[in-house]
Structure 1
Amino acid sequence: MGVPDRFEVAAGAGLGAVFAVAVAFQAYQVAGSWGAGYWPFGAAVAAWVCALALVRRRDPLWTAVAGLTVAALAVLVTRLVHLPAEPSPAASLGAAVLVGSAVRTLPARTACAVAAAGLAVVAGGLLVNPGSAVPVVSGLLWLAALTAGGGLRLLAARRRTVAERVRRAERLELARELHDVVAHHITSIVLQAQAARLVTAKHPERTAGSLAGIETAGSEALAATRRVVGLLRDAAPAAEGHERLGELIEGFESHGRRAHLRLDAEPSGWPPQVSSTVYRIVREALTNVSRHAPHAREVTIGITQHERAVTVEVEDDAPRLPARRYRRAGYGLIGMSERLEALGGTLTTGPRPGSGSGWSVRATIPTGEHR
């Protein structure tokens, strides 16, 4: 597991505070209505279930099993001993969190089994305490957990489906590279091989030159093939190359924001797939700023060329928000990540390094040649 971020820590702390208040309030109510000796059992059961709910991320299945087992045993104890109805509202709250988390994250059959176990605990409480309103509260919390967990599960499945569709579309587009980037190299090899056969028959002394031409064409074809790592893509038309970066920036600034371009590169020497990828990275990054960073006022676009790669970095100055990392990972960037992986490059997104605000998109695109 990775190190939890501040948002997750804050959410866990908030949930822990809700659990603590629920357990304390329940103990207070039981002590006032049943007497001072009746609250410790229910408070202990609720505390155990809520504590398991707080650590559910470590193992959603076994924490849910353990929490529901504690709740079920508490129901049996109330059957044998005259104690307040179980599962109590505080314990039911913790159990609902466990059930909702399991329904959201576990495989379908396992999630259904946990949901059924939660319903069994609720039904047990109703059977043991038929005239009490406490099991009814447990049932409502179980239903809320099932609804929330199922809804989040469906939403995550939809996001995965859309992301896979984006990746598939990018792969299909990559496949068209064969025609525009590699096919002309192969055609050149065939033509030069045919010419070499004729030249060899009439002028043997020119054979070396013909073979050198074939070797050059073959090397270029191999380099182009390696650049796309077998997932060949369609080089974008000239209308979507680096030449139109100026138009992108003008369109972005027309909405009242500033954009600065730092170009430390020689775009005229880039292969077509590098030129189009630079354009698309900048376009997607600016689109994300427009959609998801309404408070950003300035964007810096840096394009730097090294010996074998071009680096594109787009940074904005929007204030840092706790949930921003969830909103900024758009499906367009998923397609760009797929594209860069095919080209042997990398894509990283996240808070701007060394700053308390802003977001950064950084892409490295191999050119496949020395400078």
Structure 2
Amino acid sequence: MRLQRGRTSQAWRQVLSIEGGGEFLAGKLPMRMRRVLFIAALPVVLGLLGVLPRPTQLDLAVTVSVVLCALALMGQGWGRYPRWRREDPAEEPEVPPAVGERLVAAREDERNRLRDDLHDSVGPALAGIRLRLDVAAERVAQPATRQLILDAAAETRRTVDDIRRIIDDLRPPELESEGLEEALLKLVHRAGVGGELEVHAQLPCDGPVRGLSFATELAAFRIVGEALTNVVRHARARTATVRLTEHDNAITLEVTDDGVGPPVGKARRRGVGLASMARRAEDVGGRCEVLPRPDGAPGTLVRVTLPRGEA
């Protein structure tokens, strides 16, 4: 019996809907997640094709279990993702600054552990898989099978590059080694590379900003990074400016662009980046606002005020 395409897709979604788990096969999960699952199953597939030693029943059972567990876990995360997007920061309970800083510190500790695991375990393991695939490609005579292995090796290489970028994002090395100003300058430089956006920085001229807690520096770095990402992706702007101003007990950061203006209505409520910026500021006792430009010109102003904290 031949099923129509639409009915088949609907049936698969119903069978595989473990709170969004079927989204993997629907192709809606991020590409790097699909790559990891693909690489996990690849040795068994190649064994079944006769390219590598044929897998045992235990190999098959372990691989199927790993893939199913990964699907279930990612399905859980994907199923919750729309709820994260609908969160309104204004409805969240206010967190005292001291508690917020401890939360930021705990979150960074977790990020550091994840970064170490990726750096010490997952990255080298994927690099080893890539080398094995390169060797397997050299030993295969069939052109089609050899090309399949070469494609898998290239995909693995791209995944390794993705993991390196994730490692850098989890613990910005420039923030830790060079300080907030240099880290902001690098964000400005990255935002202006490879595109039509011209980005400027206006930072204090009387030396580096001192007396900031690491939680405040980290919040400032990530909020500015998110704001510049929004400018690049959504604002259709030609220029943007990052401005840092010091006060006695706080700092103010402003990211201004000449694009289409701040999101409104449903688009504003759906903005994951806007909620993330507000939450990061509130975690350390600060405030983040997304406003039209005060001079009346087209564009958006992101203004964040953060306490200095305990350095």
Q: TM-score range by the shorter chain?
A: 0.3 to 0.5
Report 1 or 2 for greater relative contact order, CA contacts < 8 Å, sequence distance ≥ 6: 2
Which structure is higher in helix share?
1
TM-score by length of 2: 0.43
TM-score by length of 1: 0.37
Q: Which of the two has higher C-alpha Rg?
A: 1
